[in-house]
Amino acid sequence: MDSPLKPGKRNIVVIGASAGGIEALKRLFARLPPDSSASFFVVQHLSASYASQLDRILQSATAMPVVFAFDRQPIMPDTVYLASPDRHMVIEDQHLRITRGPRENRARPAIDVLFRSAALAFGPRVIGVVLTGSLDDGTAGLWQIKDQQGLAFVQDPDDAFHRSMPQSAIEHVETDFVGALDRLADKITWQVGQDLPLPAEKPPRPDQRIENRVALGENGMQAGVMELGKPSKYSCPECSGVLIQVEEGRIVRFRCHTGHAYSIQSLLTDVNDTVDTSLWSTVRAIEERILILQQLADIADREGYPDKAARLRAKAAMAEQKCQPLRDLVLDTDFFASD
């Protein structure tokens, strides 16, 4: 079956957003024409804890059909495809795959998964768009789109509800356009349907194929994850496997043999969470020890052993003194800052 998408044209638009993204997406699609003959794919970081209404929300902003993508769904023009909560959306040839592959950058769905698969499937036909969001999901995927001769568009960080994602993309990818949402929509409208410049094709990178296979659910070791780079000094926060360090341009990121993937920023955030949890657990245990020592001291007093009670209270006071620096550390926002 021939694709309804015209070859040789820029007609694949992949969009990634996180914190503040719903309003940004509404503004963007309200300004995009419904008949550009392009297909639009959206990853908005969504909670897996409840059903999403993103399709209804965006449908109110555009005349294009807005749908949550299903597995092996054919790609049609003038349609908006959304990634579902807790599922990656992967572009494969002329259809979509919906998977529960390993989390990337602590997220599923992950923007990098969509962007990377689009670059692999459609190369220079792709326009990648990074919108508002925290941390840096989308940066590595946008780099791969640009590497395959696609276009890299980014929301102006000053226009974003959260500037981290667009700022990271600008710092690490040679962007083609940075602007506020209205200008971004106009730029997308101008570019879709344009003829591709020559040369029209560039061979896909082997690492793209490997990581795409992992996102589709293939065993990481069998897919070739260990070929992506050298073993790092770090272990995967999710499964404790060794992390392979992957370097692309100025981007440094990590992937374990199971398939979990991290940017260096998301890895630090996950490690911070682990430290935070461990510190709180230690503080709780010390405070329980203090309470037990104090109760033992009270019992010693009642039974007529004042010297023993004094020793127990002294130990409790010492534990309280040693616990205070830990309390101060766990409450120190600067210590846990990611930048």
Using the predicted structure, report yes or no on whether residue 222 has a pLDDT greater than 90.
no
> Which residues, at least 6 apart from 33, have a Cβ–Cβ distance to it below 8 Å?
189
What band does 4 get if pLDDT is binned at 50, 70 and 90? Answer: confident
Mean pLDDT of the 205-232 span: 88
Instruction: Name the active-site residue from 45, 162, 172, 260.
Output: 45
Q: How confident is the model at residue 199 (pLDDT cuts 50, 70, 90)?
A: low
Band of pLDDT at residue 3, cut at 50, 70 and 90: low
The residue annotated as part of the active site, out of 18, 36, 168, 263, is 18
137 has catalytic annotation: yes
Q: Of these residues, 78, 112, 136, 137, which one is catalytic?
A: 137
**pLDDT band for position 201 (cuts 50, 70, 90):** low
**Is 45 an annotated catalytic residue?**
yes
Single-letter amino acid, residue 297: A
Top pLDDT among 221 and 107 is at: 107
Which pTM value belongs to this model? 0.87
Distance CA 246, CA 264 (A): 10
Asked whether residue 338 carries a pLDDT value surpassing 70, the answer given is no
What does the pLDDT look like over 142-182, one tens digit per residue? 999 999 999 999 999 999 999 999 999 999 999 999 999 99
Residue 25: per-residue pLDDT: 98
CA atoms within 13 A on the CB side of 131: 27
Long-range CB contacts (< 8 A, 24+ apart) of 269-278? 269/106, 269/135, 269/338, 270/106, 270/237, 270/238, 271/237, 272/336, 272/338, 273/237, 274/237, 275/336, 276/330, 276/336
Please state whether beta strands 95-99 and 88-92 pair in parallel, antiparallel, or not at all (unpaired).
antiparallel
Q: Is the peptide bond before 74 cis (omega within 30 degrees of 0)?
A: no
**Domain 12-191 CATH assignment equals 3.10.20.30:** no
Least confident range of 36-50, 211-225, 288-302: 211-225
Give the pLDDT of residue 50.
81
